[in-house]
Chains A and B, each alone.
Chain A
Amino acid sequence: MALTNASKVKEDVWIPTCCGQCYCMCGIKVRRQDGVVTEVEGNPDAPTGRGKICVKGLASPHLLYDPYRVNYPLKRTNPEKGIGVDPKFVRISWEEAMDLIVAKMKACQEKDSRGLYFQATTTQASEIRYGVTGFMRAFGTPNYWVSGGGLHCGNGAHFMNGIMHVAWSIIPDFAHCRLPLNFGCSKGHGAGHVAVQNATQAADARAWGSRTITFDPMQSAQASKAHEWVPIRVGTDGAMALGLVNVLLNDLGVWDAEYLKYKTNGPYLVRPSDGRYMRDKETKKPLVWDLVDKRPKVHNDPSVTRVQYEDQAHDVALLGEYEVDGVQCRPGFELLKEHVKKYTPEYVEGITFVPASTIRRIGKQIAENAEIGATVTIETDEGPKKIPKRPIAAHFFRGSQGHVNSGWTCLSIDMINHMVGAADTWGGAMGLGAAVGAGYKPTGKPYQIPYPDNDGLLMCRAWVYDHVPYPLRKPKPPTRLDLHDMFPTSIYNAFTIMNPKWFEMLDVFKIPYRPDIMINFGSNSVMTMGNAEIVTENFLKKFKFIFSFQLYITEFEEAVADIVLPDTCFLERYTPAVSFPSTFSHPTGEDDWGWTIRQPVIEPMYERRDFNVVMMDISKRLGILHKYYKALNDVTVVRYGGAMSDEYKLCEDGSEEHTWEEVVDRMLKDRFGPEHGLEHVRKKGVFTWPKRKEDVYWKWFNPSRVPIYFEYFIDAGEQITEICRQFDPEKKYIGLDWSVFKPLADWYPCPTHTEKNPEFDLHAFYWRAVTQTNSMTQQNPYLDEMSQEDTIVFGIQMHSRTAAGKGIKEGDLVWVENPEGKKIKGWVTLSEGIEPSHLAFAAILGHWGEYMPIAKGKGAFFNDLVMMDEPHTDPLTLNQDICCRVKIYKA
């Protein structure tokens, strides 16, 4: 489908490509009539979506043609920066823009290339993990972050899901799960990864009679479809989950012994003195107690190993005390069982506001529905195989994990699954997207089969970003501007860079360089991180030069950008891989594998240029093009399931240049054979091949175990403590409590839960409306209008009774203020669908930018209440706490 001018005559075509309105990236077909994009529809050929897309994708013609799009390079002429400052942008030529940028970057390269900072948005995930990472490596900077989504949702959830499921996220096996337990998320109900396909699966599940329980402070889309809505206090899901685990293990005595013995480190023997594993002297492998031979064995000794369900193995101990090398030691499982005893239903009720009787009842429901011991037979490549059937799944996302207790909360919730063996097997909690696959048979790529390390624990083969969740990096003296090297469990963090004493901190931690240039790719971090003033003053204004690839002049560009480059939107560009690595945006379940590509449906209008192409151009001008190609080749290994073959490798010696189209073509040919290059794949927009059942229900086909006792956290905690002490012995700059690095899960409160001032009597949190993504879609007038169709999107949700008590009425303008004195304004919408001590805000509203008039002034800007400081940071994963205590009063 050549995009030539000749096609201008009476054309009416549907072009298959991939949506980019959010990070789900469903396959779409776009209609072009006489050169104008007029309609968008799902692409039935693409497993991601299977012909369905959401309200946002459907609305995208307005994104393409919005008169407020940036169409030419712009230069800031007002040297002053800050919120509310008129940037006085003027149009410049691309040549001028590139000259300016390249000169600055050259200077940076000469001084210290690490002064370059990349900021991107989750919406552009497929670009970040390829082009962005590639360029960073080529240029030589480790500094980046993905604003908004990354800190609120990423650090805790993705890290823990990576450890437990080699996946970005988890989801019930909707096709068979009888009792999904949802903790503060809307997966399957319009949000989260693979939103559309999950919605189809969840609806099918409702239709066949699956019964859902949802824990959420408000009646979210998911809660309203659940069979039981359990209103819970915000940020306490972890305590709730530990309560349920306690009911299972200690009240009911229910656990899946087979699973725990052979698929977790539950039987690993732990010595009481320091909580470490007992290890084999020679191999250093952890030991388990063989109950048949009555002696310790290394964890993967064939006699105690059961890879497939039908394999035979000796029984091993989960409970009891055993002597090894003269040391009395106990299996990790028993320690866990004892540890959770303190989470009695009554204790948990006090934290969560959920009645103890409800906790007991739900615990029983889990035990009954898990059907421990039951099996099903599935058809694998090696013939029929028996696997466990466990039709319950506890899952979670942003709501439950955006808190001080982020990491442990995620783990505690997932622990429910692992106690009853309901992980990555029929009916249980599955990695989302589909995380495990042997690849397209003829080429063996993309190969994404996880494998065990020396400790027998699960390691991923394919991962989304550079940090893999396990094994942990060893904490090192920092080199990154957010001191990230010291914190092995996080992707990035905010509490360092948002600190008013950031530069002092950099001195103390001996970082020899300072922030210099920021490249922003599509992010509006002024709005998507937290309090706008803190982000701008403490962080963004520290950069000497900021250039931004952007669709609109957002609040970010207004406040701080020096150059704005007119980016193409997703309908005007190529992306080589969107559904891979599959754990980000590929559906789970038995449907086929599909490698979706993005191709332009229209040539870039005006002077818009594709980010990827511009970055290639910049690389060339900087003389690092061959390094950039090499970096792209390198990132392919972990991202896309295997190294590039010599034939299709991008040229690393500088002798050849590739167009971006060629890059896409090479990637495809390398993965799927020479006949399946771009020309072939663009016809359907996707390359598909069958998924093996053993890749869907992979748990009992893989030799790895998952931890339920986090022995290695002890080391990590000690190492972090030590490294911090080296630089900052008095804890003047970093005072986080590293004692949370322990082997067993606990629940720690947020400031929200410990606030003493009775004036601040309400909990505030935010939720995601299905009609909006992050902060960009609010400018789309279709979506703006549709958001107004919902009674709750633009208002502050408040319980009718609470409001009556304060003399607040429907539609009243109010101030909502946090204990730190930050306040936001909005109007109230009353409801019975919210826990009475809570206020709920849809994210991310309340634009004030002059250049996004459709979005301007709609809704309240919740993030202004988010503090991004140490007290609101999870020490374990450095995740951001996004709830707060507030008071409300009439404006």
Chain B
Amino acid sequence: MGSAKLDGQVQSDWRWLIAAYLFLAGVGGGAYLAGVVADLAGGAEWMLVSKIGVFLSVPCVLIGTFFLLADLGTPTHAWRVWMKPGTSWIARGTIIIVIFMILAAVHTAFWIWPFAGPLEVNESARHFLGILGALFAFLTVIYTGLLLGYSQPIALWRTALLPVLFFVSAISTGLMGIMIIAQSMGIAVAQLDLMENIDAVILVFEVFVLAVYVYNAYRTLESRPSAQRILSGPVASYFWLGVVVCGLAIPLILELMGRHGAILTIGALLGLFGGLCLRFTILVGGIYTPMRAAGFEFARIHRPKDPIPAMGKLPPS
């Protein structure tokens, strides 16, 4: 059917900056969730881990929003972003994120720094705040998937699997963030081992979700060009090297080997990098579905960035 050029126009408005935003929102949300779970389920010995998770969330999400701001065409107007929460996932999302950041900031401030203590004392208040914060952390993480899913023309994104994938990746990258810091703070080996094992399980699950996601994308006619672009096209190196090798395979192997120290750090860093690559791959893997009408398939021709004409020579003047 037609020529390869008819594979449609590539999404090019959202690239690294948005990928970083989605990624950091994921890490922040994931770390917070992990932290709260550790607090709720782990008790006192997991306090450090829990604190690291909560502590990580605000800076990650905040830096993430800076990336979002940087991507805006007119950042000075950014305050308008909340004008239409009724219909826009950007409006909804930023509200969610702000609420989450406020909650997480309160959580941090009154538990860890600079007003450490009050929440340490009042455990039930902390748990309550944690659960409330976790809800918004969850929404933050899920929202990054829903945001993309709202795009009608990019079939790769229009699937319920995307929020799931982003959620799983958020938890695992959140955990990795926690592990790096926890290890450097000298946490117990057993705890590290446990976290590694949990993360490995999550990674296996992520592999599964990712496989289903990509397989689905390939199977669906509308998104097949996207899948091809990711699997064997120009984005393939980000996918195979970034996501699969760095983000999943190496961390998984290292975690299963159960080594600590520098190796753990490297594995987790690669895992984080993989999380960023995942967002990027999915963003730039997006291809606008060709238009079908009257039996024809029309694509907005993808024009690889034309070589910018060289200066050549100007006629003497």
Contacts and interface: CB of A to CB of B under 8 A. Distances in A.
Chains A and B touch each other in the complex, with CB atoms below 8 Å apart: yes
Interface of A: 67-72, 74, 89-91, 552-553, 564, 606, 781, 788-789, 791, 800, 809-811, 829-832, 850-854, 856-857
A830 B317 CA distance: 44
Given A71-B317, A788-B303, A853 B312 contact: yes
Nearest to A829: B3
B306 interface: yes
Interface in B1-19: 2-6
A856 B314 CA distance: 14
Contacts of B5: 791, 810-811, 829
Contact of B315 (A68, A781, A832): A68
16 contacts: A67-B314, A70-B315, A89-B316, A90-B316, A91-B317, A606-B317, A788-B301, A788-B303, A791-B6, A791-B301, A851-B312, A851-B313, A851-B315, A853-B311, A853-B312, A856-B310
Given A69-B315, A74-B315, A781-B309, 14 more contacts: A89-B315, A564-B315, A791-B5, A791-B6, A800-B3, A811-B4, A829-B3, A832-B2, A850-B312, A851-B315, A852-B312, A854-B309, A856-B310, A856-B312
Interface in B280-317: 301, 303, 306-307, 309-317
B189 to A, nearest CB: 55
Nearest to A89: B316
A47 B315 CA distance: 38
Contacts of A89: 315-316
Contacts of B310: 853, 856
A856 B315 contact: no
A818 B234 CA distance: 35
Size class of the B contact interface (CB-based, 8 Å):
10 to 19
A744 B70 CA distance: 77
Query: B-side binding surface: helix, strand, loop or mixed?
Result: loop
A740 B2 CA distance: 44
A72 B317 contact: yes
A67 B314 CA distance: 8
A21 B208 CA distance: 60
A163 B31 CA distance: 87
Query: A-side binding surface: helix, strand, loop or mixed?
Result: loop
A832 to B, nearest CB: 8
A722 B18 CA distance: 81
Contacts of B313: 553, 850-851
A174 B301 CA distance: 33
Residue of B309, B311, B315 most packed against chain A (CB within 10 A): B315
B293 to A, nearest CB: 15
Nearest to A553: B315
Nearest to A809: B4
A91 B301 contact: no
Contact of A71 (B301, B307, B309, B315): B315
A506 to B, nearest CB: 35
A606 B306 CA distance: 31
Nearest to B303: A788
A278 to B, nearest CB: 60
A302 to B, nearest CB: 59
A788 B306 contact: yes
A831 B317 CA distance: 46
B307 to A, nearest CB: 8
Contacts of A789: 301
Contact of A830 (B3, B303, B316): B3
Contacts of B312: 68, 850-853, 856
A840 B177 CA distance: 58
A853 B315 contact: no
Interface in B209-246: none
A771 B282 CA distance: 36
Nearest to B307: A857
B6 A853 contact: no
A91 B316 contact: yes
A67 B311 CA distance: 11
A791 B299 CA distance: 10
A809 to B, nearest CB: 8
A417 to B, nearest CB: 34
A857 B307 CA distance: 10
A810 B3 contact: yes
Nearest to B300: A789
A72 B5 CA distance: 43
B6 to A, nearest CB: 7
Contacts of A564: 315
Contacts of A781: 309
A831 B3 contact: yes
Contacts of B3: 791, 800, 810, 829-831
A800 B6 CA distance: 14
Nearest to A850: B313
A571 B310 CA distance: 27
Residue of B303, B306, B311, B317 most packed against chain A (CB within 10 A): B317
A89 B313 CA distance: 11
Contact of B309 (A74, A606, A832, A853): A853
A404 B311 CA distance: 42
Contacts of B309: 781, 853-854, 856
Nearest to A790: B301
A377 B5 CA distance: 53
Contacts of A850: 312-313
Contacts of A68: 312, 314-315
A446 B119 CA distance: 101
A71 B314 CA distance: 10
A508 B21 CA distance: 81
The 6 closest A-B pairs by CB, nearest first: A853-B312, A810-B4, A830-B3, A853-B309, A850-B313, A91-B316
Contacts of A852: 312
Nearest to A811: B4
Contacts of A851: 312-315
A810 B302 CA distance: 14
A74 B316 contact: yes
A852 B317 CA distance: 16
Contacts of B306: 788
Contacts of A811: 4-5
Nearest to A831: B3
Contacts of A830: 3-4
A851 B4 CA distance: 33
A886 B306 CA distance: 29
Contacts of A853: 309-312
A435 to B, nearest CB: 39
Contacts of A854: 309
B303 A72 contact: no
Nearest to B312: A853
A69 B311 CA distance: 14
Nearest to B306: A788
A267 B37 CA distance: 105
A830 B314 CA distance: 36
A564 B315 CA distance: 10
Interface in B50-96: none
A67 B312 CA distance: 11
Contacts of B301: 788-789, 791
A788 B307 CA distance: 12
B244 to A, nearest CB: 26
B57 to A, nearest CB: 46
A831 B1 CA distance: 9
Contacts of B303: 788
A142 to B, nearest CB: 33
A34 to B, nearest CB: 24
A791 B298 CA distance: 11
A850 B313 CA distance: 6
B201 to A, nearest CB: 43
Interface in B260-286: none
Nearest to A88: B316
Residue of B3, B312, B313 most packed against chain A (CB within 10 A): B3
B306 to A, nearest CB: 7
A564 B311 CA distance: 21
Contacts of A829: 3, 5
A784 to B, nearest CB: 8
A810 B309 CA distance: 24
